[in-house]
Amino acid sequence: MNFRLETAPERTSARAGVITTAHGEIQTPIFMPVGTVGSVKAVHFRELREDVKAQIILGNTYHLYLRPGMEILHKAGGLHKFIGWERPILTDSGGFQVFSLAANRKLKEEGAWFRSHIDGSKHLFTPEKTVDIQRIIGSDIMMALDECTPGTADLQYARRSLDLTQRWLLRGWKHFNETEPLYGYSQTFFPIVQGCVYPELRREAAKFVADLGAEGNAIGGLAVGEPTEKMYEMIEVVNEILPADRPRYLMGVGTPANILEAIDRGVDMMDCVMPTRNGRNGMLFTRNGIMNMRNKKWADDFSPLDPGGPCEIDEVYSKAYVRHLFITQEILAMQIASIHNLAFYLWLVGEARKHIIAGDFPEWKREMVDNVTRRL
């Protein structure tokens, strides 16, 4: 993987760059749609390419490991071939999913024991095994196994958690460097900075990660219960230390405003289920604010969904029609909303990139944050 910065931060820490992988280029800052089990919910890959203009999607190691399983993915020649997606893929190591299974997992020095949410079967993820699994998946960018510390953890717990994550990281990094890709193209390994909401732990973790010299780095354990301002503070603390010539990936964040604030603080890559999950529940993000499509106020509003919006469907469907689809529980409602929201998110980071290059990002961001947080 190669990362080329196209701008030097001046009035802001925001950067524009290009990541080059074996499956194509990614212009940063970038938002990555979440394709947990090898699909982005309710969105066809043709729509991801043409309407959403996704440059990279995510797969999840935990879910893909359980279904369809490694034997199937290996026979298929990796996830790209299995799903018919020719562009880059990033895989989460499954650390967050194991974290979310609090009642059904146990963390030990060897790794994370957990029970499948599907059939209750018992499994072990070690730092080495998650590298092997991601080799079989064939993702362009793979993540280290970590413990995602709760945002409300006390300092003592956060200390123990970070120590474990860092010991796991050294094992995963060693195994990554001792193994080879399976499908004839290179893969990249991103360490993850943890440390909860404690600046001293975050600084230590960022230094630990930076010293490895990986091709890119991730910031984890945020947007998991801590106050938003504390999240922004931790991003600033970490990005003061992570190398500027490597991409920085903020995991699992967030709202449009969160994304703009993260970009302003030097983040290059982001992902979140919010555009599709909220879309399926009738929430649409637009350049002028947030719409709840179940509200009666849209019942006789025949204006386009988002006039002049970034996606063709913004002009094709009216607010009244999309509300009707949600009220009648038509599957098409979820499809339209998911495509619209993802297209908006990709448009948002694309516009941020343009304004970073133009040099007026701070002014544009201030106005846009006001717009995207407004309730319509």
Query: Which positions are catalytic?
Result: 92, 271
Structure token pair of residue 47: 């729509």
Taking CA atoms, 218 is separated from 45, 114, 141, in Å, by 26, 24, 11
Tell which residue, 47, 59, 60, has the closest CA to residue 335. Answer: 47
Tell which residue, 32, 23, 1, has the closest CA to residue 249. Answer: 32
DSSP symbols for 221-271: S-SSSS-HHHHHHHHHHHHTTS-TTS-EEETT---HHHHHHHHHTT--EEE
Structure token pair of residue 38: 């090898």
- Rounded CA separation 185/81 (Å): 13
- Rounded CA separation 233/211 (Å): 22
Using an 8 Å Cβ cutoff, are 52 and 44 in contact?
no
Taking CA atoms, 131 is separated from 33, 53, 108, in Å, by 22, 29, 18
Strand pairing report for 111-115 and 192-193:
unpaired
